[in-house]
Amino acid sequence: MPALTQVACPSCGTGNRIAAGRDPLAAKCGQCGVQLIAGASIDVDDEAFAKHLANTKGLVVLDVWAPWCGPCRMMAPHFADAAQRLAGKAIFLKMNADLCQSPARLGVRGIPALFLFEDGKKIAHQAGLMTADGLMQWIQTARRTP
């Protein structure tokens, strides 16, 4: 899986290019100086989600969840594990369905709902609880599907 070449800052949303051959895990935002990739998921609202889609070249994985959802809470550590395993290769975002409008625009009918975007375009979606290994497999399979 190729490394990310541009990412949105998790703090200010500014797009930052990552030079070829550079360690993406060492990259910092040119605007605010925050580390761009921490190997953890990022909580987003509608505005931050839009900035990540617009300013990330590479994979973005979105988990739409809610605090009252048992399967969502069960999946949280698996999502965090996958985010750590794919640090520098994908950005992992978490969006609370109760606080945002994007889930309705994405057609979410059940949670947890997972979406995979590449260069800002949706390439796959899936509903239901997944393990970290299942997430990894789903991402690999979705990237190979035309």
3-state class (DSSP) for residue 106: helix
pLDDT digits 0-9 by tens, 80-137: 999 999 999 999 999 999 999 999 999 999 999 999 999 999 999 999 999 999 999 9
pLDDT digits 0-9 by tens, 25-77: 889 999 999 999 988 999 999 999 999 999 999 999 999 999 999 999 999 99
* CATH number, span 39-144: 3.40.30.10
Residues of the chain by 3-state class (helix, strand, coil), percent to 5: 30, 25, 40
> Which residue ranges make up each domain of the chain?
39-144
Catalytic-role residue among 9, 29, 72, 100: 72
CB 102 within 8 A of CB 113: no
Residue 9 designated active-site: no
The whole model's pTM is what? 0.94
CB 91 within 8 A of CB 43: no
